[in-house]
Amino acid sequence: MILPLNFLEEAKNLCRVGQSQEIRRRTTVSRAYYAAYHHALAEATRHGYSFNPSARKSRHEHLLVYLASSGKPDWVAAADILRNLKSIRTTDDYHLGEAVSAPLVKQTIEDVEYVIEDLLPAPDDLEEAT
Amino acid sequence: MTAPTPQILSATLWNRLLDLHDEDKGELDRITWQLRKLVKDKPADFDARVALALAFLLGGNRVEGIEHINAARGLWLSSNGKSIYDFMWLLLDVGELNVAKDFLERFLSQKNNSQDNNIRNIAYAYGIRSGDLDWINQGIRETGIDDQVAKSFVEELQRKELLSAFQAHQDLIESIVNSFSCTFNYAINLDEFGQPVVLVRYHTTLSGKERLYLYRRIADLKVDQDVVNVSSFISLGILGPQIQDP
């Protein structure tokens, strides 16, 4: 089964191959965002989260509201970063006239790593850290 | 061939600044060098000061950016034309919100602003950054430019009784981000369910882990002050300098 970290690895691979092509920059951001989204979804689910289809929100927004309302500062910070990454990904995939720069791509990957490693560490990561 | 006048040269360099892409650090450094020379030769040139301030801020140099904003402030009366708008934007960029508001009010009292997009955008920017959303309505009123998305943003917060929470949220963000802010931009959009959302991006002096630290401090305060209920209306981006090496 594919894991959230596989999305991040693919984003980093794309970044390493080179960022001179715009399509590669856009794809990198998209893969990186989904790494953070799926990781956050897995962590939230582990803590009892489930999507409510009658909430009149997308699955992504529903998760963000859950994290933002958790009362846990690191989860709130993760929600802020994810929301920003989501808007960058939307630009990348839907607004083709707006530029996606190499520095922005680099920061996107950094932010995804913060979400996965610092803000929403999986239990294995916590054990390694202690 | 004759050399361009300082006015033409500063306008040319300003336009080159606006054409830069986020990875054009080398070109930014060259323009900054030319503007430094121009300001050294003509220290009372308002347009050149404004352009040099922007050049520094785009590269993440807040200290020197503010230095030239302050110098330009004293030259305000000698200015005319579009660089006054640019100057007000610079004040907002570095978070000099009260000064920006003062200039905006003086400007509004002196000029017919009908259909003036610049004024509308500056009023919105002030309103969003300060959390005082009356300025969005004022921007629409002053210019007569209808803007259903911006109106719906304010109305939705009003309907959900979240205007004061939005103000508290933005005050909180300012208390953390203000002293690092170099440039600021925003957009008001509708999400896939038609809910209005404001996207705010602060380009700062910071990089790497320092940005994470700011997100964490903001989250701590949000939980403490219980303003997470406006989070779904705001997308907050804290980024490094706007123009960097790729």
Chain centre distance of CA A56: 22
Flag if A77 and B232 touch (Cβ within 8 Å). no
The residue with tokens 């306008």 is: B11
With bands split at pLDDT 50, 70 and 90, how would you rate the model's confidence at B58? very high
Flag if B223 and A73 touch (Cβ within 8 Å). yes
Question: What is the pLDDT, as a whole number, of residue A41?
Answer: 97
Question: What is the pLDDT, as a whole number, of residue B194?
Answer: 87
The beta-carbon contacts of B7-13 under 8 Å, at least 24 apart in sequence, are: B7/B45, B7/B47, B9/B34, B9/B38, B9/B48, B10/B35, B10/B38, B10/B45, B10/B47, B10/B48, B10/B51, B11/B47, B13/B38, B13/B51, B13/B55
Cβ–Cβ < 8 Å for B239, B202: yes
Return phi, psi of residue B195, to 5°. -80, 130
Tokens of A115: 């979400």
**Least confidently predicted of A112-116, B66-70, B113-117:** B113-117
In angstroms, the separation between the Cα of residue A110 and the nearest Cα of chain B is 7
**Residues of chain A found within 8 Å of residue B222, distances taken between Cβ atoms:** 73, 76
Flag if B215 and A81 touch (Cβ within 8 Å). yes
**Residue in B23, B193, B245 nearest the CB of A57:** B193
Flag if B215 and A77 touch (Cβ within 8 Å). yes
**Least confidently predicted of B38-47, B77-86, B94-103, B130-139:** B77-86
B-interface mutation test, from A62, A64, A87, most B Cβ less than 10 A away: A87
Share above pLDDT 90 across residues of chain B, in percent, rounded to a whole number: 78
Q: Does the structure show a pLDDT above 60 at A127?
A: no
The predicted model gives A45-50 an average pLDDT of 96
With bands split at pLDDT 50, 70 and 90, how would you rate the model's confidence at A105? very high
Question: What is the pLDDT, as a whole number, of residue A45?
Answer: 97
A24 lies within 8 A of chain B by CB: no
The predicted model gives A46-64 an average pLDDT of 91
Q: Does the structure show a pLDDT above 90 at B241?
A: yes
Closest CA to B13 of B51, B43, B40, B70: B51
Closest CA to B231 of B157, B181, B178, B159: B157
Looking at domain B1-79, its CATH class is mainly alpha
Cβ–Cβ < 8 Å for A41, B205: no
Sign of CA dihedral A105, A114, B219, B59: negative
**Least confidently predicted of A16-25, B63-72, B141-150, B232-241:** A16-25
Every domain range in chain B assigned CATH 3.30.70: 161-239
**What's the distance, Cα to Cα, between the start and end of chain A in Å?**
28
Every domain range in chain B assigned CATH 1.25.40: 1-79
With bands split at pLDDT 50, 70 and 90, how would you rate the model's confidence at A130? very low
CA angle A18, A22, A28 (to 5 degrees): 65
B192-238 confidence digits (pLDDT tens) = 788 899 999 999 999 889 999 999 999 999 999 989 889 889 999 99
**Residues of chain B found within 8 Å of residue A58, distances taken between Cβ atoms:** 191-193
Cβ–Cβ < 8 Å for B90, B66: no
Mean pLDDT score of chain B, rounded to an integer? 92
Question: What is the pLDDT, as a whole number, of residue A15?
Answer: 87
The residue with tokens 């002196």 is: B110
Flag if A87 and B199 touch (Cβ within 8 Å). yes
Question: What is the pLDDT, as a whole number, of residue B140?
Answer: 94
Share above pLDDT 70 across residues of chain B, in percent, rounded to a whole number: 98
Q: Does the structure show a pLDDT above 80 at B189?
A: yes
In sequence order, which residues have a C-beta less than 8 Å from that of residue A95 and are 6 or more positions away?
none
**Residue in B21, B219, B229 nearest the CB of A101:** B21
Q: How many domains does one find in chain A?
A: 1
Q: Does the structure show a pLDDT above 90 at A73?
A: yes
B162 lies within 8 A of chain A by CB: no
A97 lies within 8 A of chain B by CB: no
Question: What is the pLDDT, as a whole number, of residue A128?
Answer: 54
Which has the higher per-residue pLDDT, B57 or B108? B57
ipTM over 0.95: no
B240 lies within 8 A of chain A by CB: yes
Looking at domain B161-239, its CATH class is alpha beta
**Least confidently predicted of A14-23, B53-62, B65-74, B161-170:** A14-23
For residue A90, give its domain range.
Answer: 4-129
The predicted model gives A109-129 an average pLDDT of 84
Flag if B246 and A102 touch (Cβ within 8 Å). yes
Which has the higher per-residue pLDDT, A21 or A48? A48
Among the ranges A100-104, B71-75, B88-92, which has the highest mean pLDDT value?
A: B88-92
Beta bridge partners of A54: none
The angle, 0 to 180 degrees and rounded to 10, between the axes of the packed helices B83-93 and B46-58 is: 40
What global pTM score does this model have? 0.92
Sign of CA dihedral A53, A58, A59, A65: negative
Which of 192-221 (B) contact A at CB < 8 A? Answer: 192-193, 199, 201, 208, 211-212, 215-216, 218-220
**Residues of chain B found within 8 Å of residue A80, distances taken between Cβ atoms:** 215, 218-219, 231, 236
The predicted model gives A11-35 an average pLDDT of 89
Question: What is the pLDDT, as a whole number, of residue A97?
Answer: 78
A120 lies within 8 A of chain B by CB: no
